[in-house]
Amino acid sequence: MGAATAPADDLTAVYSASWAGLPAAHIRLALHEGPDGYRDEIAIGSEGLPHVVTHFRGTAVAQGRLGGGQVPSPNRFDANYDLRKRKDRALRMNFVERDGALIAERGPGDTSRKPELKEQFRRDVIDPLSTITAIRAAVRRGEKQFTIPVYDGARRFNAEVRVLPRDPSDPGIHLALVLRAIAGFKGESSEDEDPDDAPRPASLTLSDDGTLTPLSMTVKIWFLPLTATLERLCAPGDACSW
């Protein structure tokens, strides 16, 4: 069955993540799309060895309008996170219309310590969480290959996406991604100890139905695969504890 054209109103799901085959994190993802726009939420808690090393936990919210073809136009992205050496950090990003473009700017309460990238790298971009909405919208429109410009508050990169041919023996809609560095890498403005600027391959699988539920995603971290896999969908009104 092909992907339906009408978006699902709400979707909440719980995922487990593994790194090199070992438990790495638990994740809750909530996606809303409707006449009022879209709102994406994610919560991540590390576990196993990654928790011992990083003590990472965080939440993020992205919201904005949906334009023609359900293309997301974000108006804000807020994230809160803890790391072993950086507690109670906050990322606050607003998207401001100026000179015919949408500009990402830091908002009140942001605790980032590095200067913003030049405006040319913050023009007509979306945040990482809104990328999920953008990918699902492009798949609904039947696009087979597309590029999404992404800015995470410190780094600017492109998510280059290609929809793979259907394989009847492997259900789902499979996408191959390449995360390509544009600016903010190799210590230019990041707080992450010189992140690698080499192109980073990733993969994403969506359900082959009208919901386009994310089923799994894999990306390499420190040369080893980090994979998030769907554990369960949550019923409407369910607190969806993890």
Q: Say what the pLDDT of residue 242 is.
A: 66
> What SS3 class is residue 137?
helix
Cβ atoms within 10 Å of 6's Cβ, excluding its own: 9
114-140 mean pLDDT? 96
For 145, other C-beta atoms within 10 Å of its C-beta total 11
Residues facing residue 33 across a β-bridge: 38
Token pair 């994230």: residue = 79
Q: What is the pLDDT of residues 82-111, one digit of tens each?
A: 887 778 899 999 999 999 999 999 999 999
For residues 159-173, give the mean pLDDT. 94
pTM (2 d.p.): 0.89
pLDDT digits (tens, 9 = 90+) for 185-241: 874 444 444 456 789 999 999 999 989 999 999 998 877 899 999 999 998 777 777
Closest CA to 71 of 129, 137, 150, 146: 137
Q: Which residues are CB-neighbours of 45 under 8 A, at least 6 positions away?
A: 25, 26, 27, 51, 56, 57, 242
Beta bridge partners of 146: 161
Query: Domain spans of the chain?
Result: 10-233
